[in-house]
């Protein structure tokens, strides 16, 4: 059965250049945009979109909804906040096989899965080069879209990167402690997540870079495991990572904090500019996840614990997050001052990268990370990009056109044009004048189905009420 939807008299926003097309109709058929122009006459479900600005659906390009205890609830919450697509950042062989078989089982009101890796590369499956190569080959055979490096050592990283490149798989994720970041960029790293994480990029931007890098390597995660299979190691590692991900900052040793303080204190904008130019030349993307970094480095901020969106989070998870905040509060004042200064520098680095032409994406690292609430976190990410100095248009691009470019899917997503997927967000105000307007959602269209503001509000209320 053919289904048609007609949005009438909207202002359509072109995220490529900020162009506005007022009094424009958008005709949708079977989940695709059929026509975009004023005065369309068609037999279709009509939605009066006058007074709204229509933009492409938002994409959270670093998220973890799958593998959670209740992924359906998380996915619905994401859609209710305008997220129509996401890049899953931790997968499994089972997930890859279910996707191939068309058995993901997502709710109808769900964003699309845009890309996923198989299991993270960690000491559980990549303690040695041979293990890492075997893991990458298995993921390739099962249809992974990319390989994500997690806690691999720098002794393994470059061989893993070379094998992924040989198989035509992008490598994304975390940089090992003490790694040569420019070498990783030249080697074809597709995207660096969380600005490192940790001290990695700061080391390259310091006047004392060699010392900082080697100190980081010496104090890096001590998770090397025997080069043979241990029964149930993957399950053990999964439990370890779930606890660690709440706030990795909390396991920082005094030497780690001292090294971060030295890196921040010797920050050199000229060196940062050189690094930015390297990334831009190599096509190494950045997914800063600023809201994730902020909730780590300012973890005991009262604003996080008072967020009304915590209504969507289970009591057990809220207790775990509060416990993480309490542990963070135990750091001495000078350590916490270092974390605060580090975040300010990371905002500065984000702006510097953008000015230098480094391509970036909006992502949140939800779910599991303390105070990072699915759906709402992407709106917080928009605000942090604005704090860094990015324009509202640029922020819109980071969640619409640039994800399409990154994924190589500009023919199906990223703009409001005929032939594109009918994944749209209707906004009550012009998103080009204030980044906060990106959060003022009047409706969402996902795969051609319209969800009104009242419907979205009802869904949010239902989701909050489902939390025990």
Asked if residue 71 is part of any domain, the answer here is no
- Looking at the fold, whether 267 and 336 belong to one and the same domain comes out as yes
Task: Say yes or no to pLDDT of 233 above 60.
Answer: no
Q: What is the span of the domain harbouring residue 425? A: 4-56+414-465
Structure-token pair, residue 226 = 């025997």
More confident residue, 124 or 399: 399
Asked if residue 418 is part of any domain, the answer here is yes
Of 146-160, 193-207, 233-247, 254-268, the poorest mean pLDDT is in 233-247
Sort 125 into a burial class: Cβ within 10 Å, 0-12 / 13-18 / 19+: buried
- Looking at the fold, whether 283 and 432 belong to one and the same domain comes out as no
Alpha-carbon span 213 to 387, nearest angstrom: 29
Number of neighbours of residue 17 by Cβ within 10 angstroms: 8
Of 1-5, 16-20, 116-120, the poorest mean pLDDT is in 1-5
Number of residues that this document lists for the chain: 468
- Looking at the fold, whether 419 and 386 belong to one and the same domain comes out as no
- Looking at the fold, whether 371 and 418 belong to one and the same domain comes out as no
Asked if residue 318 is part of any domain, the answer here is yes
Task: Say yes or no to pLDDT of 68 above 80.
Answer: no
Asked if residue 397 is part of any domain, the answer here is no
Task: Say yes or no to pLDDT of 408 above 80.
Answer: yes
Arithmetic mean of pLDDT, 452-466: 93
- Looking at the fold, whether 284 and 423 belong to one and the same domain comes out as no
- Looking at the fold, whether 363 and 217 belong to one and the same domain comes out as yes
Task: Say yes or no to pLDDT of 1 above 80.
Answer: no
Residue 231: the pLDDT is: 57
Q: What is the mean pLDDT of the chain?
A: 94
* Residue recorded with tokens 């593998």: 67
- Looking at the fold, whether 376 and 420 belong to one and the same domain comes out as no
Residue 2: the pLDDT is: 64
Asked if residue 371 is part of any domain, the answer here is yes
Residue 74: the pLDDT is: 95
Asked if residue 264 is part of any domain, the answer here is yes
Q: What is the DSSP string of 279-348?
A: HHHHT-EEE--HHHHHHHHTTT-HHHHT-GGGGGS-HHHHHHHHHHHHHHTTS-HHHHHHHHHHHHHHHH
- Looking at the fold, whether 200 and 347 belong to one and the same domain comes out as yes
Residue 457: the pLDDT is: 96
Arithmetic mean of pLDDT, 69-93: 95
The sign one gets for the Cα dihedral 124, 314, 386, 341 is negative
Q: Are 217 and 154 in contact (CB under 8 A)?
A: yes
Residue 316: the pLDDT is: 93
pTM of the model: 0.95
CA nearest 365: which of 60, 99, 27? 60
Alpha-carbon span 133 to 393, nearest angstrom: 41
Task: Band the pLDDT of 9: cuts 50, 70, 90.
Answer: very high
Alpha-carbon span 292 to 327, nearest angstrom: 17
- Looking at the fold, whether 207 and 313 belong to one and the same domain comes out as yes
- Looking at the fold, whether 312 and 449 belong to one and the same domain comes out as no
Query: What is the SS3 assignment for 149?
Result: strand
* Residue recorded with tokens 């162009």: 19
CATH number at residue 28: 2.30.40.10
Domain-terminating residue out of 353, 374, 390: 390
Task: Say yes or no to pLDDT of 67 above 90.
Answer: no
Residue 281: the pLDDT is: 98
Asked if residue 20 is part of any domain, the answer here is yes
Name the DSSP letter for residue 174: P
Asked if residue 244 is part of any domain, the answer here is yes
Per-residue pLDDT reduced to its tens digit, 174-224: 999 889 999 999 999 999 999 999 898 998 999 888 899 988 888 754 454
- Looking at the fold, whether 217 and 332 belong to one and the same domain comes out as yes
- Looking at the fold, whether 351 and 428 belong to one and the same domain comes out as no
Q: How many domains does the chain have?
A: 2
């Amino acid at each position: 059965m053919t289904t048609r939807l007609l949005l009438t008299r909207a202002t359509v926003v072109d995220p490529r250049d900020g162009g506005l097309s007022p009094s424009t109709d958008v005709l949708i058929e079977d989940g695709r945009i059929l026509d975009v122009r004023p005065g369309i006459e068609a037999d279709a479900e009509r939605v009066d979109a006058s007074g709204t600005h229509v933009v492409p659906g938002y994409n959270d390009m670093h998220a973890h909804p799958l593998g959670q205890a209740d992924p359906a609830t998380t996915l619905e919450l994401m859609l209710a906040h305008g997220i129509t697509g996401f890049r899953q950042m931790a997968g499994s062989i089972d997930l890859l096989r279910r996707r191939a078989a068309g058995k993901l089982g997502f709710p109808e009101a769900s964003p699309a899965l845009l890309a996923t890796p198989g299991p993270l590369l960690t000491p559980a499956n990549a303690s040695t080069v041979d293990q890492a190569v075997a893991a990458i080959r298995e993921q390739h055979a099962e249809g992974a879209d990319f390989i994500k490096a997690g806690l691999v050592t720098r002794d393994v990283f470059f061989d893993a990167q070379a094998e992924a490149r040989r198989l035509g798989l992008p490598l994304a994720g975390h940089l090992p402690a003490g790694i040569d970041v420019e070498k990783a960029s030249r080697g074809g790293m597709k995207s660096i997540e969380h600005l490192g994480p940790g001290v990695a990029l700061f080391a390259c931007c310091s006047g004392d870079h060699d010392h900082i890098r080697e100190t980081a390597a010496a104090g890096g995660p001590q998770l090397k495991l025997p080069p043979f299979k241990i029964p149930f190691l993957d399950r053990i590692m999964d439990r370890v990572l779930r606890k660690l991900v709440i706030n990795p900052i909390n396991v920082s040793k005094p030497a780690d904090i001292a090294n971060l303080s030295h890196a921040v204190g010797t920050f050199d904008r000229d060196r940062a500019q050189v690094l930015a130019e390297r990334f831009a030349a190599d096509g190494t993307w950045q997914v800063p996840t600023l809201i994730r970094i902020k909730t780590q480095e300012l973890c005991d901020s009262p604003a996080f614990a008072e967020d009304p969106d915590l209504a969507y989070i289970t009591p057990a998870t809220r207790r775990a997050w509060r416990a993480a905040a309490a542990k963070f509060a135990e750091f001495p004042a000078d350590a916490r001052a270092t974390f605060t200064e580090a975040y300010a520098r990371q905002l500065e680095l984000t702006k510097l990268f953008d000015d230098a032409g480094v391509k970036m994406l909006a992502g949140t690292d939800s779910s599991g990370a303390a105070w990072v609430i699915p759906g709402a976190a992407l709106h917080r990410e928009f605000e942090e990009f604005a704090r860094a100095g990015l324009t509202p248009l640029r922020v819109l691009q980071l969640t619409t056109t640039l994800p399409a470019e990154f994924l190589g899917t500009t023919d199906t997503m990223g703009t409001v044009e005929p032939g594109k997927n009918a994944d749209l967000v209707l906004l009550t105000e012009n998103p080009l004048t204030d980044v906060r307007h990106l959060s003022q959602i009047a409706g969402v269209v996902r795969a051609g189905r319209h969800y009104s503001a009242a419907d979205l509000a009802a869904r949010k209320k239902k989701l909050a009420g489902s939390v025990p």
